[in-house]
């Protein structure tokens, strides 16, 4: 049995603990039990320990919801309904007011919710970041099946266009902050956006690059690649380094990874 600890809004949690837990972990979990700790924070939050059986991978689909499209459900605090797709399928979102503040739209996961006593069959939960991370600068990172099993599962990648959350400048700033955490990148004080991989050659030691993943070459390259969630979906960080080789198999995986990541956000 698996366990997770959550900091929950007490009013939302106690209004419907089962729905709240499934909104966090998905409807695929089984044999759910929970313990509420004695401590209550001044803002009304509580600590909840949830125990459940192994979770089957939930739907990978992520969509963007506009705040104006949310309708409060039965005046319950933190429980909203929005309509999904042209079929206007009702989806229940459970979220604290703080999670919605300052945002006109936000990405959410959608899960099936097969409870006969509800008029909705799907739950949604907010994703802090819709995209995922990857890095060649960490040891033993690359293993296709372990790094992205869903990519291998169906053997094909959808097509579509992401609804971008971040622009180029925000992406540069986020990468600059991220690479400052790596000892091997401490000398970098400038990030340049390039359109052609050839522009990264014969570069200075203090310069890193952002490049569209589709412009990576179809061959082995030397250096490191870092991908963070807080980015424009097509931009990755590349730093040339003759001491590390990225083989073409990993290059191809990175391209598929980023394409799959972006086109599963609608």
The pLDDT tens digits of the residues spanning 112-147 come to: 776 656 778 788 888 777 787 888 876 434 443 344
Neighbours of 245 (CB within 10 A): 12
For residue 246, the SS3 value is strand
β-pair partners for 226: 135, 237
- For residues 62 and 107, give the distance between their C-alpha atoms in angstroms, rounded to a whole number: 6
CA distance between the termini of the chain: 33
Give the contacts of 39 (CB within 8 A, at least 6 positions apart).
46, 47
Q: Which pLDDT does position 3 carry in this prediction?
A: 82
- Judge contact between 151 and 159, C-beta under 8 A: no
Q: Does the pLDDT of residue 265 top 70, yes or no? A: no
Longest dimension (CA), the chain: 65
* Mean of pLDDT over the chain: 80
Q: Residue range 61-88: average pLDDT?
A: 81
Domain ranges for the chain:
1-128, 134-263
pTM of the model: 0.58
> Has residue 266 got a pLDDT over 80?
no
pLDDT tens for 201-213 read 988 889 999 999 9
């Amino acid at each position: 049995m698996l366990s997770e600890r959550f900091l929950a809004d007490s009013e939302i949690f106690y209004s419907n603990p089962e729905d709240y837990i499934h909104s966090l972990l998905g409807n695929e979990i089984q044999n759910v039990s929970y313990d509420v700790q004695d401590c209550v924070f001044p803002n009304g939050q509580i600590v909840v320990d949830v125990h459940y059986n192994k979770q089957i991978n939930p739907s990978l689909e992520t969509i963007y919801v506009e705040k104006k499209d949310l309708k409060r459900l039965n005046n319950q605090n933190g429980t909203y309904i929005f309509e999904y797709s042209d079929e206007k399928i009702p989806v229940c979102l459970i979220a604290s007011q703080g999670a919605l503040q300052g945002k006109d739209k936000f990405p959410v996961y959608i899960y099936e919710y097969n409870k006969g006593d509800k008029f909705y069959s799907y739950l949604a939960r907010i994703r802090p970041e819709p995209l995922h991370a990857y890095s060649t600068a960490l040891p033993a990172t690359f293993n296709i099946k372990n790094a992205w099993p869903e990519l291998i599962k169906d053997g094909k990648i959808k097509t579509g266009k992401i609804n971008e959350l971040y622009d180029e400048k925000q992406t540069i700033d986020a990468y600059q902050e991220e690479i400052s955490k790596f000892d091997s990148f401490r000398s970098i004080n400038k990030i340049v956006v390039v359109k052609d991989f050839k522009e990264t050659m014969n570069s200075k030691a203090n310069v890193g690059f952002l490049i569209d993943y589709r412009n990576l070459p179809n061959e082995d390259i030397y250096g490191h690649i870092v991908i963070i969630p807080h980015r424009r979906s097509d931009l990755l960080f590349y730093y040339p380094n003759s001491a590390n080789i990225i083989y073409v198999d990993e290059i191809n995986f990175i391209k598929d990874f980023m394409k799959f990541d972006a086109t599963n956000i609608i």
